[in-house]
Amino acid sequence: MADDEESKNDAAGRPDHPTPLRGPNEGLPAKPEGKRSSVAADVGALATGLKTTLGEFFRPAVTLEYPEDKSPRSERYRGRHYLRRYDNGLERCIGCELCAAACPVGCILVIAAENTDENRVSPGERYAKTYEINMLRCIFCGYCEDACPVQAIVLGPEYELSDTSREKFIYTKEKLLEPLPPDVQARLDAKKKEPT
């Protein structure tokens, strides 16, 4: 047996005819035996087709009328970003730039500045003086959200981000600090209270 196989190999040692993993008819449905098509059967098949389409004609549409009706987003849907605040109004972001480091496409720009007693923006030592996301580059992977040690950045449910100029796609800190949609906010609040 071994000799036999060796003789089939070519110069490079590859088998001449590798044994196929599947036979030619393996996995195929068995052919019906002795069944021949007749005119009656063919016309019947046509009638079945017509019956099917007429049945579908009277059933309601399965499509959504998009601008009015929208399909529900998953809770974990990754849409546009938001920067969150604490309940007392201070920004969560501490300007650590871990989100920018985690970003695979480098679309986040963070420039940090020191908090002072006169100008306290966040509870930590530093805060983000500039926080910009280039939404044209963003791939909505959510790594920034994972990387953030203070849960400052989250990806919300919005996905209709079209605009009229490229400049408008660079979301500034001001835009990112817009309040979250109430349902997302409520969900995040509930998560916070859960024991970890």
- Residue 40 lies near another protein (rule: CB under 8 A): no
- Residue 46 lies near another protein (rule: CB under 8 A): yes
Write 188-195 long-range contacts (CB < 8 A, 24+): 188/84, 188/151, 188/154
CB contact at 8 A, 112 and 127: yes
In the chain, how long is the greatest CA-to-CA distance? 93
- Residue 37 lies near another protein (rule: CB under 8 A): no
- Residue 27 lies near another protein (rule: CB under 8 A): no
Nearer to another protein, 30 or 62 (CB): 62
- Residue 57 lies near another protein (rule: CB under 8 A): yes
- Residue 11 lies near another protein (rule: CB under 8 A): no
Residue 90 identity (one-letter amino acid): L
CB of 163 to another protein, least distance (A): 23
- 61, 182, 195, 196: which one contacts another protein (CB under 8 A)? 61
CB of 137 to another protein, least distance (A): 34
Q: Check residue 82 and report its DSSP letter.
A: E
- Whole-angstrom Cα distance, residue 67 to residue 65? 6
- Residue 35 lies near another protein (rule: CB under 8 A): no
- 59, 71, 117, 160: which one contacts another protein (CB under 8 A)? 59
- Whole-angstrom Cα distance, residue 89 to residue 77? 26
Angstrom distances, CA of residue 94 to CA of 20, 83, 124: 60, 11, 6
- Residue 66 lies near another protein (rule: CB under 8 A): no
Binding stretches for another protein (CB under 8 A): 46, 49-50, 52-54, 56-63, 65
